[in-house]
Amino acid sequence: MSLKVIGAGLPRTATMTQKVALEILGFGPCYHMANVWGDLDTVPRWHEAFLGRRDWDDIFGEFQAAVDWPASFYYSDLMEAYPDSKVVLSVRSAESWERSMENTIWGTFYGDMLVHDLSTAWGRVDQKWADYITLMKSMWEKIGLLAGEFEGTGTATMARAMERYNEEVKATVPADRLLVWSPSDGWAPLCEFLEVPVPEVQLPHINDTNGYTLGVIDLAMAALKKWRDERNEPRA
């Protein structure tokens, strides 16, 4: 099976909403960063892709769609690999994206906040998570959208970078293969673009900033508890 829909939108642009929406419309399963979090054994495959050794069929298997990083990082490569696919660029206001990033992904990597502390501790006891963080930092820094020297909300540093990225996507993807879409646009333009009926269910809204932060914290706490419990086990 090959990808039919490629999400080119950056993380924190309602990609989980997009994932669930695509699955409701029949383009499932849809690959998302959540799939990587759920199986950190896939990180080496993405590391190989980052180094230029890419086997997309091996990575995506039976998935019909892919949104969010790490997949959207490679949207132009995936367009070539799957020439019949369509591309959805999920968007939001640049200012709100910058605020969300500061409190989630940037905060996890560089911030003076609990989610950073717990992520770092998790990486100390789980090499797979440490490798994931290293890979994600490398990807963000390569694309030039995120770095440790971010000066904080209100400087528009990341906001401007996001706008440049979105313009690059629009210039790269042929107009007949691209939909620029926000969940606030509703079902209609997405369904028209993908040539499927509008479903009767309400468009989902999933994974706000608090949900991301709590997700990292919960997973980190579980990993740290497992590490502690393993060391408390009586020796044979």
DSSP structure string for 39-91: -GGGHHHHHHHHTT---HHHHHTT-SEE-STTGGGGHHHHHHHSTT-EEEEE-
pTM of the model: 0.90
* Residue 87: predicted pLDDT: 98
Q: What is the CATH number assigned to the segment(s) 5-231?
A: 3.40.50.300
Choose the weakest-confidence range: 63-67, 73-77, 128-132, 228-232.
Answer: 228-232
Whether 85 shows a pLDDT value over 90: the answer reads yes
Q: What is the pLDDT of residues 24-43, one digit of tens each?
A: 999 999 999 999 999 999 99
Please give the share of the chain, as a percent, with pLDDT higher than 70.
93
Choose the weakest-confidence range: 84-93, 129-138, 177-186, 213-222.
Answer: 213-222
Q: C-alpha dihedral over 111, 48, 40, 9, to 10 degrees?
A: 60
